[in-house]
Structure 1
């Protein structure tokens, strides 16, 4: 009988149940329903997202969900997936920089799953179907299965669409599902976009 992993909460800070967070001097609505959001994670995600907007003015924001049959003790599959997906995006669109975040979650299933968010230069692409196809092909080639969402992208070209995308992104910082891993394994990772 397989022993259930204990939840590891080291390395993560405060969970907020507030429905807003202060970011760049602005109160941003967040999806804190149910389990709340990790504030440290929210701040990192929002800062990376807005650095992308500072660079590109418009962004295509895409969210995908990836599942696998067997649990793994590390996130090496995500590193491989990200590198292969980025190589395909770069070859197809000529994009050198891509904002991203992935989070590792595990609830009732025996294996973890991943939520992935990407944000790219909105002047280079304004739809998600090609990126979604690339992600599906790369993940399925690696033996995983891709969960299709009814609506998986937002073209961010106004203050309203920015807030909508940040609200979607805040879902990745939710408290539920995280921590079922060993001490040295990360719950999430993000791009390292630099300010202009």
Structure 2
């Protein structure tokens, strides 16, 4: 199902009616569930966005295997540091040779405050995985599509008086992953999005419940 309005359960999402760009409902729901679960679990959450690309001349098949191995190692590395990482990713491809991936990462904000070292680690691990030395394959998402500086590493605090606004900001930015544009090009049987598992029957914190419509 495609959502074509700029609202999803009361939260802002990135749609563009002029370009006939909507958002996939199943991806939006996974992102929303992940945010609700994680901020119910941790009273402070560091929200991070990043993109993953292959070098233009890199020889790679069309599966998700290389990326899946990278993200598994990246998550395991930060689990060992006690940061309790969870993630959502999507695969996209337009006219370029290789697919690319958009990701959100949620970390225990009581254990870490800076997103920059996290993405530096991602860059180092992705380069090692590919056997290359090339900057820029991990997009730190600290600039808009127009090149303007923008903040990454949003700290979402459950007890903040602006909690609802910051939650909405995180979800709005994350909704970019659900956009319909440049999807549906994966070979048959290849997934176009994935995420950490969310436990069954997890309790929603009352403060989080209060902002849900």
Q: TM-score, normalised by structure 2?
A: 0.78
Distance in structure 2 (CA, Å) of the matches to 1:54 and 1:45: 14
C-alpha contact (below 8 Å) 1:99/1:193 kept by paired residues: no
Q: Is the 8 A contact 1:88 1:134 kept in 2?
A: no
Q: How does 1:43-192 map to 2 (within 5 A)?
A: 43-69=29-55, 70=58, 71-91=60-80, 93-95=81-83, 97-143=84-130, 145-150=137-142, 151-157=151-157, 158-192=163-197
Matched residue, 1:11:
none
Q: Which runs of 5+ in 2 are unaligned?
A: 143-150, 158-162, 204-213
Provide, for residues 135-171 of structure 1, a one-character-per-residue CA deviation record: whole Å limited to 9, x for no partner: 1111111227222332332111222111100001100
- TM-score of the pair, normalised by structure 1: 0.84
Q: Does the CA contact (< 8 Å) of 1:127 and 1:155 recur in 2? A: no
Secondary structure, in 3 states, of the residue corresponding to 1:172?
A: helix
Q: 5+ residue gaps in structure 1?
A: 1-13
CA distance in 2, matches of 1:159, 1:127: 22
The alpha carbon displacement at 1:73 in A equals 2.0
Which secondary structure state, in structure 2, belongs to the residue aligned with residue 104 of structure 1? strand
What is the alpha-carbon root mean square deviation over aligned residues? Answer: 1.5
